[in-house]
Structure 1
Amino acid sequence: MQNPYSEIFRAPGAKGFAAAGFLARLPIAMAPIGIVAMLSQTHGEYWLAGAVAATFALSNAFVAPQISRLVDRLGQTRIVVPTTILTVLAFAILIAAANQDWPVWTLFVSALAAAAMPSMPAMVRARWTELFRGRPEMNTAFAFESAADELVYIAGASLSVGLSAALFPEAGMLVSTLFLAFGSTAFILQRSTEPQVRPVDHASSGSAIRLRPVQIITFALIFVGATFATTEVSTVAITKELGQPGAASIVIGVYALGSFVLGLVVGALNLKAPLQRQLAIAVALVALGTLLPLTAGTVPLLALTVFISGVAISPTFITAFGLIERHVPEAMLTEGITWVMTGIGIGMALGAFAAGAVVDEFGARNGFFVSVAAGAIALATVLIGQRILGEPDCDLAGCEPAAVPAE
């Protein structure tokens, strides 16, 4: 039996844009925690560090879909180049402002400007879709991307904090900025795999978020994102309560590992069930898994329950992005994918905030109840949306317009 992952990388240019895209997306995980690590050392105030990091993360969550919409209209090169330059300059100013103790407002302004950072996961998935649209290999490619996202969050945050602690406060942000600059440059230079620009017609005018399937999937994934952000916060709190705070990083790593492993397995399979049903099953497993950590009274048992509860996250993302590809016109694909990524990011921010509040007020273990509530809402959303998600794929007029080259 052939390895399906080796098959997708035989496509011309696939190895190059996948490697460059991985490098360019590391700042997604490195930058927010890098800002916290940098400013907490240079200014000694965690509230300021958190506020600046939140300014960047939340602003990027809302700006990124608009940038991706321009990418769909004008092509990756014409939009990614200027937005990346703006982001790199903004990060450079933020680093200088922290190092030179510039006024606090410069930290917030530069963080706000850095929100122009384009959604590299969406750009890479758009290239895979261009290569394998309507073929089984696309499910494998999306599985690989979900695994890559997991690695970004596992390695990126640890690398950023480690560099700042071992070298100097700005080290994590500096390396993150270099990854963005060099990775994006390498990605854009590979013009042969850049998706073609589809002409905008009546069906693909406006925003992708106006499409009902995009609304359903984005709303559901807000709460899926909340479940694993809540699990991470609660894990930190409960390991501290159990007297082993250092075990938190191991437990969180095990959590991501479960998702990573099953995501690769699902990508190697050619499942025949309708995608909307696969999504419902995956989200149901996520929702059921949120109950398991409530039973953990020791760190080893916590690690085991968290591992099991995390296995369905990557399959959820794989099927969600597959549904987006089928229901969104080609001329809106990058924006549609970015809205889902935005939903995950918003969910992580809201989940972390809600879990922190519950932990402070009611204790560490009760933070997991936020995950339970979020999982239930995500499952209800997907079940209610089954009919709409199961409608004929991309049946809007103009879903398959003639392509024109990107300028």
Structure 2
Amino acid sequence: MSQTTLTSHRAAPSPPISLTDVMAAPHVTRLLAGTLLGRLPNGMAPAALVLFVTGSGGGVTFGGLLSALYILASALSQPVKGFLLDRHGQTRVSGPAALINSASLLILTTVSARSQPVLATALVALAGACTPPLEAGLRALWSKVLPDPGQRRVALAADTGSQGLLFVVGPVLAAFLASQHGPGTALAATAATGITGSLIVLTSAPSRHWRSPARHPGARSTLHNATLLRLLLALAGVGVANGAVTVWAVGMAEQHATAMLIGLIPGAYAAGSLIGGLLYGRRPWPGGTTAHLLAGTAAFTIAWLPLLTLPGPHLAVALVLLPGLFLPVLITGAFLTADRIAPAGNLTETCAWMILALGVGTASGTAVGGALVAHPLAAATLPLAGAAAALAVLATAPPRPLRGRRDRGFGADSAAPD
């Protein structure tokens, strides 16, 4: 066989996949923009609830409890909603959930949190439990909308990188609306934003026609899959780092008498995540999905080390950009890994459990960080501890270039190019 023939049989190198090309693919911009808009209430609602309670004469403590209840109810209900999505489709689950969520928030604007605390609490719990599972739904849609794994990686990186901005823009927008037009308007805008984003997604063809593959009778569920359990534990550790850095920002603001740090530090972390997502999706990187997951987690862990020097305010804002840069790499790797190993017909539920794990970890990091906020070194160490725990969990199943069953482990299909 001639050299020319050999050359002709070689696989041509894959051209770089740009974010512009991915966004130009059918439905991608609509799904991504709609999901981000529909999830903006996740950042708006907690702040709007505190402002609503205090604005009606209630205490900050009660407002904080309602805010925490909304977040907790939303997180804990994720696996149930994911299970229902896999069984009944997105329109029949996310549509009613979005309507109940928005209606509950709108009804809440007519309630006095001070004189009707039980009713207010019930409405907040219902609204939180019925937050539409747009994020899990989008993660399940990518494989249908973007069959090419490289395109999915770019889309996931952009999706992950932009999420942090929701929790920066959301509270600011809620505070602005409350100060200019009243707390009730902030809650009403939260409801309107959620239902609008949900409608944009749910009326799209991919969402309307999406059906989960039939589940194999002998397939193990998410919580009975040891590999997926390790992935959930690792994401909980990442969540601890996310929650801890927010509380660390509060401690830095108190220590240096600079209130702006409460917003600047999380904002810089979110900005780093956005930049990292764009850079990660800009070009193909060597190695497969598993290698990216492990390398991203290792880099994320190392990037927290400079905080142990107890930097000053300006340097602290700059330093939190570093772990933010690598957050999209590990999150994207985690969800692409789940896409490979989740039991057939159970992908949305698996994604929902992953979102729950991140949420529980974030809540835990916030709680522990609050207890450590008076101790600067301990508070600065907590994000590193959460990231290191995630890396340790993932390192117990080192990548192997093997192919086989979807639920074999992190090594399954790890050699497949992204």
Whether the aligned pair in 1 keeps the contact of 2:105 and 2:124 (CA below 8 Å) is yes
* Paired positions, count: 392
- For structure 2, list consecutive stretches of 5 or more residues without a partner in the other structure: 1-14, 409-418
Whether 1:336 and 2:350 are equivalent positions in the alignment is yes
Cα distance in 1 for partners of 2:394, 2:20 equals 33
- Let me know the Cα RMSD of the aligned residues: 2.2
Query: 1:367 aligned to 366, 376, 379, which one?
Result: 379
Whether the aligned pair in 1 keeps the contact of 2:215 and 2:344 (CA below 8 Å) is no
Quote how far apart the aligned CAs of 1:138 are.
0.7
Quote how far apart the aligned CAs of 1:281 are.
1.6
Quote how far apart the aligned CAs of 1:180 are.
1.0
Cα distance in 1 for partners of 2:252, 2:401 equals 38
Look up the equivalent residue of 2:118 and give its one-letter code.
W
Cα deviation, 1:169-205, whole Å, max 9, x if unaligned, reads 223222111011111122211134542332233145x
Cα deviation, 1:235-274, whole Å, max 9, x if unaligned, reads 1211221122223312221121112101111112222313
Quote how far apart the aligned CAs of 1:302 are.
1.0
Whether the aligned pair in 1 keeps the contact of 2:238 and 2:387 (CA below 8 Å) is yes
Cα distance in 1 for partners of 2:231, 2:257 equals 39
The verdict on how the C-alpha distance between 1:228 and 1:234 changes in structure 2, with shifts beyond 3 A counting, is same
Query: 2:154 aligned to 137, 140, 160, which one?
Result: 140
Whether 1:200 and 2:202 are equivalent positions in the alignment is no
Match of 2:111 in 1: 97
Match of 1:215 in 2: 229
Cα distance in 2 for partners of 1:284, 1:179 equals 37
The verdict on how the C-alpha distance between 1:63 and 1:391 changes in structure 2, with shifts beyond 3 A counting, is farther
The verdict on how the C-alpha distance between 1:166 and 1:207 changes in structure 2, with shifts beyond 3 A counting, is farther
Q: Which moved more, 1:136-145 or 1:11-20?
A: 11-20
Match of 1:385 in 2: 397
Cα deviation, 1:357-380, whole Å, max 9, x if unaligned, reads 111xx4344312222221221111
What are the equivalent positions in structure 2 for 1:79-228 lying under 5 Å apart? 79-98=93-112, 101-114=114-127, 115-133=129-147, 135-193=149-207, 194-204=209-219, 207-228=221-242
More helix by share: 1
3-state SS of paired residue (1:96): coil
Match of 2:79 in 1: 65
Whether the aligned pair in 2 keeps the contact of 1:216 and 1:381 (CA below 8 Å) is yes
Match of 2:270 in 1: 256
3-state SS of paired residue (2:24): coil
Whether the aligned pair in 2 keeps the contact of 1:282 and 1:312 (CA below 8 Å) is yes
3-state SS of paired residue (1:386): coil
Cα distance in 1 for partners of 2:336, 2:405 equals 11
Cα distance in 2 for partners of 1:49, 1:385 equals 43
The verdict on how the C-alpha distance between 1:180 and 1:283 changes in structure 2, with shifts beyond 3 A counting, is same
Cα distance in 1 for partners of 2:148, 2:126 equals 38
The verdict on how the C-alpha distance between 1:306 and 1:78 changes in structure 2, with shifts beyond 3 A counting, is same
TM-score normalised to structure 2 length:
0.87
Cα distance in 2 for partners of 1:346, 1:300 equals 30
Quote how far apart the aligned CAs of 1:347 are.
1.1
Look up the equivalent residue of 1:86 and give its one-letter code.
I
Cα deviation, 1:113-139, whole Å, max 9, x if unaligned, reads 111212211112222221224521110
Look up the equivalent residue of 1:354 and give its one-letter code.
V
Cα distance in 1 for partners of 2:257, 2:384 equals 25
Aligned-residue identity in percent: 22
Quote how far apart the aligned CAs of 1:391 are.
6.6
What are the equivalent positions in structure 2 for 1:290-305 lying under 5 Å apart? 290-305=304-319
Cα deviation, 1:267-301, whole Å, max 9, x if unaligned, reads 12222313222212211222222221221342111
Whether the aligned pair in 1 keeps the contact of 2:238 and 2:358 (CA below 8 Å) is yes
Cα distance in 2 for partners of 1:39, 1:388 equals 53
- For structure 1, list consecutive stretches of 5 or more residues without a partner in the other structure: 397-407
Cα distance in 2 for partners of 1:352, 1:109 equals 24
The verdict on how the C-alpha distance between 1:207 and 1:35 changes in structure 2, with shifts beyond 3 A counting, is farther
Match of 1:376 in 2: 388
Look up the equivalent residue of 2:182 and give its one-letter code.
F
3-state SS of paired residue (2:40): helix
What are the equivalent positions in structure 2 for 1:319-334 lying under 5 Å apart? 319-334=333-348
Look up the equivalent residue of 2:387 and give its one-letter code.
G
Cα distance in 1 for partners of 2:405, 2:318 equals 39
Whether the aligned pair in 2 keeps the contact of 1:258 and 1:310 (CA below 8 Å) is yes
What are the equivalent positions in structure 2 for 1:25-40 lying under 5 Å apart? 25-40=39-54
Look up the equivalent residue of 1:347 and give its one-letter code.
G
Cα distance in 2 for partners of 1:183, 1:389 equals 40
3-state SS of paired residue (2:171): helix
3-state SS of paired residue (1:331): coil
The verdict on how the C-alpha distance between 1:163 and 1:393 changes in structure 2, with shifts beyond 3 A counting, is farther
3-state SS of paired residue (2:320): helix
Cα distance in 1 for partners of 2:205, 2:62 equals 41
Structure with higher Rg: it is: 2
Quote how far apart the aligned CAs of 1:316 are.
1.3
Look up the equivalent residue of 1:109 and give its one-letter code.
A
